[in-house]
Amino acid sequence: MNIKCLICKKNFILKRAFKDLLSCKKAYVCDKCVKENPIKIQFNYLPLTNHQLEIVSLFEKPYLNYDAFIIEYSQIYQLLATRNKPIYLYDSFVLKEQNLLEFDYLATQLDDDIIILTNTYID
């Protein structure tokens, strides 16, 4: 099956082994782009007044196409969702004084910690 890579825009072939020949295997990024853009999950914890803001970032640099790693995002999201805390998704999350105040207010209103899942975290 010929697929266009969502990062480099080149066509690539999705390799299959005999055991997954009939499965619905999906990929949106070619092997070269996966090697050049490895996922490095980082956890950053910021204290709020009564709760905490947890920022889970996947990459060290921002990406143009948010959909390229949607499979990995959904797997990480499902893991985080088991903790039953509000999760917010950002393409790139830039920490500013103003949005820290907003998350502090939101955490107080929800009476819970907040998780942010983002491509890139810039503090």
The residues of the shown chain that bind Zn ion, judged by CB under 5 A, are 5, 7-8, 30, 33
What is the C-alpha separation between 47 and 65, in angstroms, rounded? 31
Which C-beta is closer to Zn ion: that of 22 or that of 64?
Answer: 64
Which C-beta is closer to Zn ion: that of 7 or that of 114? 7
- Distance of closest approach, residue 12 Cβ to Zn ion, in angstroms: 7
Alpha helices in 1-123 (DSSP H): 31-36, 70-81, 97-110
Nearer to Zn ion, 32 or 96 (CB): 32
The least distance separating Zn ion from the CB of residue 57, rounded to whole angstroms, comes to 21
**Least distance to Zn ion, CB of residue 75, Å:** 20
Q: Which is nearer to Zn ion, 8 or 70 (CB)?
A: 8
Task: Report angle CA 60, 53, 122 to the nearest 5 degrees.
Answer: 25
Quote the least distance from Cβ 44 to Zn ion, whole Å.
28
88 CB-near residues (< 8 Å, 6+ apart): 114, 115, 116, 117
| Straight-line distance from the first to the last Cα atom of the chain, in angstroms, rounded to the nearest whole number | 41
- Note the residue count of the chain: 123
Give backbone dihedrals phi and psi of 102, rounded to 5 degrees, phi first: -65, -40
